């Protein structure tokens, strides 16, 4: 099995991890994770993402406005976002998206903000990382209108319906990034979706510090945070770490029917294509 991984989406700037990044990266390196796509979520954390990327060469910054924070954006948010991306030629755009469950803005407003970000990402020729919760049909419609995406569009922590995989994969540059969130679904539903994802469009991520995989799907033990009491999550939950990407790989392999080595190699190749080494 490949010993090298790229975590296609995580949030090391999150306050639950930001004071222990050295330890988190050390654990991840021991697990074979070499690079980390750290995604911003709002204007207030873009500087933290920028600082992490300046301090750690293995962190690739991504800047974007998450749907949860659409209503708190400033008037200059899009200009600020473009300035950051221009200042960091290797950065991606993300996290952006649609969320009917927790988004603080009406869907029409979320859609307009997402469209602005996708258009910016395409114009600047950057990979785009997209969040979607309970808005899969609308997202598919938007991507079919706005595609192709020659520099990549990543469906982050994808848990959408299996029947959407084929039409989305037909759009040039759309990738499916799989994480521990798939263990929140029924096994059969998740496996039906994972089995349809083409290897040439698969990515692996942890979405750390969220997305800790459920242990019901595997015998492997997740790397749980040693300071779980610091987490705002319920007492029975602990923080996710990028080192758990091996656990994600095991789960995806079991659901897809492919060998772990085959998935790991494909995900690594796809990640390098989207984020070539500087």
Residue numbers in the known binding site for a divalent metal cation are 9, 11, 95, 131, 156, 207
The DSSP call for residue 104 is S
State the DSSP string of 167-215: HHHTSTTEEEEE-GGGGGS-HHHHHHHHTTS-GGGEEE---TTS-PPPG
User: Cα separations (Å) of 16 from 22, 26, 102, 114, 138?
Assistant: 13, 17, 20, 27, 32
- What CA–CA distance (Å, rounded) separates 172 from 220? 35
CA 134 to chain centre: 17
Question: Hey, what are 263's tokens?
Answer: 């998935």
Contacts of 138-143 with CB under 8 Å at 24 or more apart are 138/98, 138/107, 138/111, 139/97, 139/98, 140/164, 140/167, 140/168, 142/111, 142/114, 142/115, 142/118, 143/168, 143/171, 143/174
Q: Is the dihedral of CA 2, 273, 201, 186 positive or negative?
A: positive
> By three-state DSSP, how is residue 21 classified?
helix
Place of tokens 């015998």: 219
Q: Is the omega angle on the peptide bond into residue 148 within 30 degrees of 0, that is, cis?
A: yes
Report the distance separating Cα 234 and Cα 231, nearest Å: 8
Q: Supply 178's token pair.
A: 């799989």
């Amino acid at each position: 099995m490949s010993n090298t991984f790229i975590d296609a989406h995580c949030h090391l700037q999150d306050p639950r991890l930001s004071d222990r990044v050295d330890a988190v990266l050390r654990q991840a390196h021991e697990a074979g994770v070499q690079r980390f796509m750290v995604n911003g979520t709002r204007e207030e954390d873009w500087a933290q993402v920028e600082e992490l990327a300046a301090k750690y060469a293995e962190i690739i910054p991504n800047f974007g406005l998450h749907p949860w924070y659409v209503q708190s954006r400033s008037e200059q948010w899009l200009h600020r976002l473009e300035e950051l991306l221009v200042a960091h030629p290797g950065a991606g755009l993300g996290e952006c998206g649609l969320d009917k469950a927790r988004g603080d803005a009406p869907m029409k407003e979320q859609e307009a903000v997402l469209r602005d970000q996708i258009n910016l990402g395409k114009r600047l020729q950057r990979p785009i990382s997209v969040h979607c919760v309970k808005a899969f049909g609308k997202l598919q419609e938007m991507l079919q209108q706005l595609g192709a995406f020659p520099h990549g569009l990543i469906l982050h922590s994808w848990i959408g319906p299996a029947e959407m995989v084929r039409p989305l994969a037909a759009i040039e540059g759309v990738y499916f990034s799989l994480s521990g969130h798939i263990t929140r679904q029924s096994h059969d539903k998740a496996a039906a979706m994972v089995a349809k994802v083409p290897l040439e469009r698969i990515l692996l991520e942890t979405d750390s510090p969220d997305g800790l995989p459920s242990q019901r799907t595997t015998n492997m033990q997740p790397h749980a945070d040693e300071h779980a009491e610091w987490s705002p999550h319920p007492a029975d939950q602990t923080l996710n770490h990028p080192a758990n990407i091996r656990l994600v790989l095991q789960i995806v392999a079991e659901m897809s029917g492919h060998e772990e080595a085959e998935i790991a190699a494909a995900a690594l190749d796809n990640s390098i294509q989207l984020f070539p080494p500087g």
